[in-house]
Amino acid sequence: MSTFTSIALAVSAAAAIAGAGVSIYSASEQSRAQAAMAEYNRMAQEQNASWQRLAGERAAQADQFNAQIAGFNADSQGQQAKLTAQLASSQNDQLRQQAEFSDMQAGLQRTSAEMMRQQADGQDRQAKEQAARIRAEKDRILGLQRSQFAAGGVTPEGSPLAVLADTANIYEMQVNDTKLLANLESNKKRYEAGVTDTNAGITALEAAMMRTQADTNSNAIGFNLYQDMYAAERNKNSSNLAMSDAKFAEESAGAGYRINLRQADIEQRAGMSQSKGTMMAGYGSALSNISQAGYYGSQAAGKPKAQ
């Protein structure tokens, strides 16, 4: 082999060795860059996962707080509905009691009217009895006057007759005045009894209206309580559902954070595997170049000895 050929083989071997060095250096740099990028991506993904978890947990906690407030409001709504119903029932009971009192008052008014009529009847009887007593007294006086006239030898004609007539007229006037006064008093009592009966009817009508209103109120109270309690229960269920959703969202934020961490670890491992693969490929390329360098070197060194 000529010296030129030996030199060419030696240069080729040196070039192969240099290529092996370049391959190893290039693979090493690329591998470090890939490893650094994998680590950076992992850190970025973990940071993003942490932010997402924090944002999700804060939003879930805010939703939980709002759900608690909604639940508290629903409980307050139910309690307020019960208190309102109790107050309305108490007022309605008072209305019924007032109706009963009005019924009693109407009964007393009717009793009073009946007593007034009885008093009027009694006054009429007393007037008749008084008239009878006056007439009896008249007859006694007239009889006494006649006997006195007769004892004195006076005949009833003329002035004695006028005296007897005057006496009779006076007593009849007394009878008439007694009857008139009694009639006035009894008529007044009967008029007052009629007015009292009318008032009793009005009072009884008011009692009936109160009782009807109380019955209407009872139905309204029951309906309103049912409606308010239904609304409160519905709001309570909504708040419980919102609380469950918020807790689920908070747990989902934690689960998503763990999933993202595992995904970041997986991608980092993939990056590290790629980095190792690049390094192994560089080593393989270097080994190939080294093998070529050995071949060229052996050729350059071995041929002259063969000659």
Q: Read out DSSP for 126-153?
A: HHHHHHHHHHHHHHHHHHHHHHHHHHTT
pLDDT for the residue 18:
60
pLDDT for the residue 79:
92
Q: Check if the beta carbon of residue 249 is closer than 8 Å to that of residue 63.
A: yes
- Fill in the amino acid letter for 126: Q
Tens-place pLDDT, residues 105-164: 999 999 999 998 898 888 888 888 888 887 788 777 777 766 766 666 655 555 666 666
Tens-place pLDDT, residues 272-301: 777 777 767 666 666 666 666 666 556 666
Two tokens at 265? 């670890």
State if pTM tops 0.75.
no
- Which residue bears the tokens 């978890």? 53
pLDDT for the residue 59:
86
Residues 6+ apart with CB under 8 A from 99: 207, 208, 210, 211, 214
Q: 44: how many CB neighbours lie within 10 A of its CB? A: 11
pLDDT for the residue 306:
39
Give the chain's count of helices (H) and strands (E): 2, 0
- Fill in the amino acid letter for 234: R
pLDDT tens per residue, the chain (307 residues)? 556 565 555 556 556 566 556 666 666 677 777 677 777 777 887 788 788 878 887 888 888 899 899 999 999 989 999 999 999 999 999 999 999 999 999 999 999 999 988 988 888 888 888 888 877 887 777 777 667 666 666 555 556 666 667 777 787 787 888 778 878 888 888 899 999 999 999 999 999 999 999 999 888 988 888 889 899 999 989 989 988 888 888 788 788 778 877 787 787 777 777 777 776 766 666 666 666 666 655 666 654 443 3
Q: How far is CA 186 from CA 35, 118, 126, 281, in A?
A: 126, 9, 11, 138
Q: Check if the beta carbon of residue 20 is closer than 8 Å to that of residue 290.
A: yes
Please state the domain extents for the chain. 3-306
Instruction: Give the N- to C-terminal CA distance of the chain in Å, as an integer.
Output: 8
Q: How far is CA 64 from CA 4, 61, 200, 246, in A?
A: 87, 5, 64, 5
Q: How far is CA 133 from CA 126, 171, 184, 208, 249, in A?
A: 10, 10, 20, 50, 109
